[in-house]
Amino acid sequence: MLKAGKFYFTNLSNGLRVLLLPSKEVLSFKVLVLINTGADFEIKEQNGISHLLEHMYFKGTPKRPSTFKIATEIDSVGGYYNAYTDREITGLFIQLGADYTDLALDVSSDILLHPLLPEKELEKEKGVIIEEINMLADDPRVTAYELWEKLLYGNQPAGWPIGGSKETVARLSRDDLQQYWQSQFRSQSVLVALSGKLPSSETKALALVKKYFHNIPLGQGKPKLKTREKQIKPNLLIQKKSTEQTHLWLGFRAFNTFDPRQYALEVLNAVLDAGMSSRLFQLLREKLGLAYYVNSWFSLKTDTGWWAVSAGVNNGRVLEAISHILKEFQSFKISRLDEAEVKKAKNCLIGRLSLSSENVHAVAADYASQALLKNQIISLEEHLKKIKDVRFSEVKKLAKELIKPQFLNLALLGPIKEDQKIKKLLGSFIN
């Protein structure tokens, strides 16, 4: 068993991974179960199956044959539960008072090991998800983000929406879900994390996990296909829609989560967007009044990654906004990036990471994701040290490596009328 700081991480004999993050300062207990599967593991005909299966977790087991029965057990002790689907992870959690540790593990293991997947409930839940898809389609920020992923990855799992389409969801059957569950929910692809007020020793906590998950199917789930990437010039994708703002995503391909440059990217991203004093906020909102929201983000998966700016801008000033964002990116490669700015960004990151340590369950979720995808954990303390150790020269070097025309992408949603001018502007971006 690996012991580092306050957490414990081990592999059981059946391959199931277990993370323990105890805290004597809280009165709550949380079990988080992560499965190494998600939208990036799907085939085209079944796009959305991970998300639909996640919804069906709560539709009953032989021991608890209805959603109401499951909900009543958790609600009666003031607990909270939910599940979620992402690209490479599907998760389920239950959080409640520490006196009900056994209940949380009993319910979570029952839901995941013995799902009934009732046909009648499946048809109703497909209708619920189709309405969720309709709801998200009415949200331009969500649609713009899905457009960004489609631009980067095209017609492959990483480019398809996590929830699927109305057509693919409607076609999914109980047999499809049963086969997908059987192929993916296996011991070596699952991690159980316990956080908060745990039993008195890690030995007792592990014994509880073994008790409730001892009959998990053995083996490893079907792996996802590696994401394909090929780009030699700037890419543009426009979806014209009557909206009050134009929503954009503008940025660059990056690298995967195993790349040691990720800490320099954190710092570089913080220079661009770390609070109301950051470059983006000061320029696009305070100085130019172009946007209400403007942020920069990066996402690093096991086989790909990106770094981008998102914003909602005045429909009549789209070209202006794009031009200014491109100039900010370009400035990183020339003269307008100094050591004082990088130091400020590092201090901001260090402060925010330190504040995040106050929520033991959030820290456990971060550690659990790392352990599931990389089978190792960079603790909060180690993370802080890695940020402190980032050198100014590393940040400048990374900017030159990422900010290139062959990595540049722009996704736009709105009543766009200047397609050719936008395309020309992107084409003028040089090394």
pLDDT in tens, 26-69: 999 999 999 999 999 999 999 999 999 999 999 999 999 999 99
Confidence at residue 337, expressed as pLDDT on a 0 to 100 scale: 85
pLDDT in tens, 294-315: 999 999 999 999 999 999 999 9
Confidence at residue 201, expressed as pLDDT on a 0 to 100 scale: 87
Domain borders along the chain are: 2-213, 235-427
pLDDT band at 5 (very low <50, low <70, confident <90, very high): low
Confidence at residue 236, expressed as pLDDT on a 0 to 100 scale: 98
Domain 235-427 maps to which CATH number in 3.30.830.10, 3.60.15.10, 3.30.310.160, 2.60.40.3500?
3.30.830.10
Confidence at residue 26, expressed as pLDDT on a 0 to 100 scale: 93
Confidence at residue 430, expressed as pLDDT on a 0 to 100 scale: 76
pLDDT in tens, 361-413: 999 999 999 999 999 999 999 999 999 999 999 999 999 999 999 999 999 99
Of the listed ranges 144-153, 212-221, 285-294, the one predicted with least confidence:
285-294
Tell me if residue 88 is catalytic: no
* Bridge partners for 111 per DSSP: none
pLDDT band at 431 (very low <50, low <70, confident <90, very high): low
Instruction: Return all residues near 52 (Cβ < 8 A) that are at least 6 apart.
Output: 122, 125, 126, 129, 164, 169, 172, 177
Cα–Cα distance list, 415 to 313, 316, 355, 412 (Å): 12, 9, 41, 9
**Which residue among 42, 54, 146, 266 is the active-site one?**
54
* Mean pLDDT within 280-289: 91
Confidence at residue 278, expressed as pLDDT on a 0 to 100 scale: 86
pLDDT in tens, 78-137: 999 999 999 999 999 999 999 999 999 999 999 999 999 999 999 999 999 999 999 999
pLDDT in tens, 133-176: 999 999 999 999 999 999 999 999 999 999 999 999 999 999 99
Our measurement of the distance from residue 38's CA atom to the centroid of its chain's CA atoms, rounded to an integer in Å, reads 11
Confidence at residue 378, expressed as pLDDT on a 0 to 100 scale: 96
Domain 2-213 maps to which CATH number in 1.10.1370.30, 3.30.830.10, 3.40.718.10, 3.30.465.10?
3.30.830.10
pTM value? 0.95
For the cut 60, the answer to whether the pLDDT of residue 1 exceeds it is no
For the cut 50, the answer to whether the pLDDT of residue 293 exceeds it is yes
Q: What is the DSSP letter of 287?
A: I
Confidence at residue 4, expressed as pLDDT on a 0 to 100 scale: 46
* Mean pLDDT within 247-267: 98
The CA dihedral of 87, 88, 92, 96, to the nearest 10 degrees, is -100
- Distance, CA of 384 to CA of 201 (rounded, Å): 28
- Distance, CA of 23 to CA of 9 (rounded, Å): 15
Residue type, 318: V
Our measurement of the distance from residue 224's CA atom to the centroid of its chain's CA atoms, rounded to an integer in Å, reads 16
Confidence at residue 60, expressed as pLDDT on a 0 to 100 scale: 96
Same topology, domains 2-213 and 235-427? Answer is yes
Residue type, 396: K
Residues 237 and 374 sit within 8 Å (Cβ to Cβ): no
Residues 203 and 211 sit within 8 Å (Cβ to Cβ): no
